[in-house]
Amino acid sequence: MAFRKFINSKTLLSFFAAFMLLGTNVLMAQTPAATGAGEPEAPQVDWAGVSYYVLIFFLICLGVAVIGKILKIYDLTLKIQGKKGLKWNTVMGVICLVFLIAGIYGAYWSFTVQGSMTLPESASAHGVNIDEMFTVTTVLTMIVFFITQILLFTFLFRYRHSDKRRAYFLPHDNTIEKIWTIAPAIVLTILVVFGFFTWQKIMDTSEKVGDINIDITGHQYKWELRYPGKDGILGPKDFKLVTGFNKLGVNFKKRSSFDDLAVDTMYLPVHKTIRLNIQAQDVIHSVYMPHFRVQLNAVPGLPTFFKFTPTITTAEMRRKTDDPKFEYLVYCNKVCGGGHYNMQAVVRVVTEAEYQAWLSRQKPYLTDQLKKELHFAAAESSKSVSQNRLALNN
């Protein structure tokens, strides 16, 4: 049998282990030379670590082989004594039961310990609906989860093989099949209807007066934020107008563009409806603000928006989470390249007064350099137009 071979080749194995050790040692001697002077203190501990772990693995394999051998011998002696040998079906049945109990405890532990590490309560109005929906779904699915897993593993233990018994011939039972087709259908219908209306409410596109428009544009690997000025209107944009100083390509032929503000941190007044205008310049990004239950992809060529109302200020949330450094964040949640894992912007929810004070301190998007550039560009274009005329006349 396979195990016996394993044992017989023990010498072979230890040779192999020694070879591995030697091999890694040789490699270890080479690495400092290869990496050169750049890192003289190359951490050699890891190298010893590798051979160490390989050796441990081989020892475990050996241990497993020895245990296998012992079991085999035990099995044989039982058979020699005229007994039936190890009843593997019973062993497995018992392990199934042990797994069930350990699994339930593990799930309980995970729910309490790791479950408490999840997001705090929703900081937006619509998020409360999502959280309610989530609770309902969790309760329903967890009931099904525990019942089905408990049934599965207790059946395995209860109906483990026995020579004395024959299985119960039950090819089908139409009544019970109808019940367990219709029951999930009803539960799912409830969830669908509940979810459908929640979704429609969140995605409600009707405009309301007093919404604050904020422009958020993603590019590798930064979020650009633009607030409207006093007129409350964001100036139009065109990607063809993008230059070094006009990163977003704002069109300054329109008056509404002149008072737009460029900001670093997204300040939001509490209890005001925010309309985030979401765009991307190069690849798909995703505006993800988990604390507000907000997410929408930023797709180049497809401007979208998401409306939400923050309800808890940053200061309040710091108190609630007992974390003085707590910040709301915008994450990028669609893989966008090497810097994807660190593409973030800070969001601060503040009172209306604080918001106005902050707003008055912000600098306009139209910087002096940009003014110069635009002026220059306008002069150049008029020159080229006149040249074109000349060319046509010729």
**Residues 73-102 interacting with other proteins (rule: CB under 8 A):** 88-89, 92-93, 95-96, 99
With tokens 């999502």, the residue in question is 130
Could you check whether the bond before residue 221 is cis, i.e. omega within 30 degrees of 0? yes
Of 337 and 352, the one with the shorter C-beta distance to other proteins is 337
Instruction: Candidates 147-155, 267-275, 350-358, 379-387: pick the segment binding other proteins (CB under 8 A).
Output: 147-155
Residue from the set 55, 242, 315, 346 that interacts with other proteins by CB under 8 A: 242
Which pair of structure tokens corresponds to residue 308? 């939400």
Q: Exposed e or buried b for every residue in 233-267, given b needs 16+ CB within 10 A?
A: ebbebeeebeeeebbbebebeeebbebbbbbeebb
Does residue number 332 form part of the binding site for other proteins (CB under 8 A)?
A: yes
Q: How far is the CB of 250 from other proteins (least distance, A)?
A: 13
The 8-class DSSP code of residue 340 comes to G
* Residues 182-221 interacting with other proteins (rule: CB under 8 A): 184-185, 188, 191-192, 195-196, 198-200, 202-203, 205, 219-220
Q: Which is nearer to other proteins, 210 or 338 (CB)?
A: 338
Task: Please report whether residue 251 would count as binding other proteins according to CB under 8 A.
Answer: no
- What's the closest the beta carbon of residue 327 comes to other proteins, in angstroms? 8
Which of 99, 258 has the CB closer to other proteins?
Answer: 99
Q: How many chain residues bind other proteins (CB under 8 A)?
A: 128
Distances (CA, A) of 254 to 234, 251, 258: 10, 6, 8
Which segment (14-22, 239-247, 310-318, 363-371) binds other proteins by CB under 8 A? 239-247
| Strand 328-332 to 345-350 pairing | antiparallel
Asked if residues 294 and 340 have their Cβ atoms less than 8 Å apart, the reply is no
Rounded to the nearest 10°, the torsion over CA 320, 325, 329, 333 is -100
Assess 118 for contact with other proteins (CB under 8 A): yes
Amino acid type, 176: I
Which of 26, 33, 37, 117 is close enough to bind other proteins by CB under 8 A? 117
> Is-contact 126 202, C-beta < 8 A?
yes
Contact range with other proteins by CB under 8 A, out of 150-158, 258-266, 367-375, 384-392? 150-158
- The burial of 342, by beta-carbon neighbours within 10 Å (0-12 exposed, 13-18 middle, 19 or more buried), is given as exposed
Torsion of CA 47, 50, 52, 55, to 10 degrees: -140
Contact with other proteins (CB under 8 A): which of 273, 295, 309, 362? Answer: 295
Q: For residue 100, give every residue at least 6 positions away whose Cβ sits within 8 Å of its Cβ, in sequence order, or none.
A: 149, 150, 153, 154, 157
Q: Is 40 a residue that touches other proteins (CB under 8 A)? A: no
**Shortest gap between Cβ of 58 and other proteins (angstroms)?**
10
Nearer to other proteins, 34 or 353 (CB): 34
